[in-house]
Amino acid sequence: MNIEEFRDYCLSKKGVTESFPFNELTLVFKIMGKMFAFSGLENQPLKANLKCDPEKAILLREEYDGLITPGYHMSKVHWNTVVLEMNIPHQLLFELIDHSYDLVVSKLTKKLKLELEKL
């Protein structure tokens, strides 16, 4: 998956915005102001950090050793760093992005969930 595919898929999710809040090389995707995905554009190969259920994160790291690792500069329990341009099936990458998005949405306040529904 290249950066355009990653970006397009993230932006296809309801209520998602993109920004560069840290620097001009770190692309961040948020749902209702909460981060669910980001990528350092200078990384070769391209990588992204995605939120993940802790138990699922461990299983993914074991199955995709070296391609899915504990989140770089993030909580190692709740975030994974995923190599996008390697041998991980596109369908799995889409599922991991969806999972990250859904985890963040599940933690939104009732008010923010109502706002999201109205979009």
pLDDT digits (tens, 9 = 90+) for 16-72: 999 999 999 999 999 999 999 999 999 899 999 999 999 999 999 999 999 999 998
All domains of the chain in start order, with CATH:
3-118 (3.90.1150.30)
Q: What integer pLDDT is reported at residue 49 of this predicted model?
A: 97
Q: Among the listed ranges 26-35, 74-83, 98-107, which one has the minimum average pLDDT value?
A: 74-83
Q: Within a 13 Å sphere around the CA of 110, how many CA atoms are in the beta-carbon half?
A: 0
* 3 φ/ψ sector (left φ>0, alpha ψ -120 to 50, else beta): alpha
For 87-100, the pLDDT digits (tens) are 899 999 999 999 99
69, amino acid identity: T
Contact 118, 107 (CB under 8 A): no
- Helices 3-11 + 90-106 axis angle, to 10: 40
Q: What integer pLDDT is reported at residue 73 of this predicted model?
A: 83
